[in-house]
């Protein structure tokens, strides 16, 4: 099913279908690709729209890359899936999605057959704690590491950015912001929504200052980082006042180092 067919179909039918992607022959051929020279992740603090998807597509090096949306964190939200296809519509990409709430009677391909057969994977925002638990139960966490090692470009915003780090701040639990342990592909910690949610900045400073959390990267909404392996290669933003910071402790004090961002559209 192509994205135009998806958008014209019923929401219930689309979500029940589970996987929407390129033809099987193309995907199976891609699954055997050799490891790339660099492992790539593109994150944003919030808002992974068309500009970020376009940049991620460019990072694949493919003229028409296969990009897969993994909406585990938002509970396979139908609206989120529709928004994904709308954001991809202006781009020369083969857009697909893979739900996590599946039944073997409806899905005949394994997680590895799906996730390792694309050029890029974008993870949704939502509840990071639930996302991590579900991924671990299914073995998706290990397959995402394989994808990273193969050079499949990974990305996302909010829970879709936090998931790649060792740890970070989250709103996944009741009553107050807390911490969550994640995949650890990117070393250190992460704080998304740095400018958008008032409690994020003081909690991040407190945790890093006390040594409860490792130093790391804080991203405003609409701002993000492109990593190769664990090296920051480029900082980007889709609006002028969206910033990225490296937060650490220097001489016993919490220090924010702003990382200049390039504008992308």
So which residues are the catalytic ones?
Answer: 158, 193
- Work out the number of other CB atoms within 10 angstroms of the CB of residue 80: 17
Distance between CA 238 and CA 201 in Å, rounded? 21
Distance between CA 18 and CA 154 in Å, rounded? 20
- Nearest residue to 152 (alpha-carbon basis) of 25, 42, 28: 42
Residues 6+ away with beta carbon under 8 Å from 80 = 71, 74, 124, 126
- Work out the number of other CB atoms within 10 angstroms of the CB of residue 249: 14
Task: Give the 3-state secondary structure of residue 119.
Answer: coil
* Rounded alpha-carbon distances, angstroms, from residue 188 to 77, 162, 164, 195, 208: 29, 11, 10, 20, 10
- Nearest residue to 256 (alpha-carbon basis) of 196, 194, 212, 211: 194
For residues 15 and 78, the answer to whether their CB atoms sit within 8 Å is yes
């Amino acid at each position: 099913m192509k994205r135009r067919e998806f958008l014209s179909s019923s929401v219930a039918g689309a979500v029940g279908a589970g996987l929407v992607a390129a033809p099987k022959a193309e995907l199976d051929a891609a699954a055997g690709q050799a490891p790339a020279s660099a492992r790539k992740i593109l994150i944003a603090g919030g808002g992974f729209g068309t500009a970020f998807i376009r940049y991620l597509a460019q990072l694949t090096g493919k003229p028409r890359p296969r990009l897969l949306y993994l909406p585990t964190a938002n509970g396979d939200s139908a609206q989120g899936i529709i928004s994904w296809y709308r954001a991809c519509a202006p781009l020369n990409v083969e857009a697909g999605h893979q739900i996590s709430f599946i039944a073997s009677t409806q899905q005949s391909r394994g997680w590895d057959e799906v996730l390792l057969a694309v050029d890029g994977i974008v993870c949704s925002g939502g509840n990071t704690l639930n996302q991590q638990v579900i991924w671990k139960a299914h073995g998706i966490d290990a397959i995402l590491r394989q994808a990273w090692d193969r050079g499949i470009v990974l990305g996302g915003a909010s829970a879709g950015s936090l998931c790649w780090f060792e740890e970070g701040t989250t709103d996944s639990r009741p009553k107050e912001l807390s911490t969550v342990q994640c995949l650890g592909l990117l070393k250190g910690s992460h704080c998304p929504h740095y400018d958008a949610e008032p409690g994020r900045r003081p909690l991040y400073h407190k945790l890093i200052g006390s040594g409860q959390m490792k130093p790391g990267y804080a991203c405003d909404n609409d701002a993000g980082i492109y990593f190769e392996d664990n090296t920051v290669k480029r900082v980007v933003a889709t609006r002028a006042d969206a910033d990225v910071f490296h937060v650490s402790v220097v001489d016993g004090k919490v220090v924010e180092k702003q990382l200049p961002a390039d504008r992308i559209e």
